[in-house]
Amino acid sequence: MHWDDALDVWGVHGVGGVLGSILLGVFAYTSINPAGADGLLAGGGTTFLFKQTAAVVIASLYGFLFTYLMLYLINMVTPVRVSEAEESEGLDASLHGERAYDESAL
């Protein structure tokens, strides 16, 4: 998808967090957490599921907008991304003027 997510943060934490939060509205039981609410399988109706889904959507929008704004402001001070030429050359050479590995030894 051409995402710049080298550590797979979205794939691991984002998807797991979104699914876990929403599915809590399906699988929650007050017998496990008396202070909580029953999910769909426990007969709690769709109210809790809707609240969980709304919380995920609102938190995702907030996170996206805040991150976009911060990256925009940071980019005004210093570039957030390197050019395609620098990326193709390798960041060790373009940023540090050296090679991290002896390519002839590989």
Domain boundaries, the chain: 9-95
88 compared with 60, residue with greater pLDDT:
60
pTM of the prediction? 0.75
pLDDT of 3 strictly over 80: no
- Which tops the pLDDT comparison, 100 or 72? 72
pLDDT at 25: 94
> What does the pLDDT read at residue 12?
87
| DSSP per position, 11-79 | IIIIHHHHHHHHHHHHH--TTT-TTS---GGGT--SHHHHHHHHHHHHHHHHHHHHHHHHHHHHHHHS-
State the pLDDT at residue 106: 63
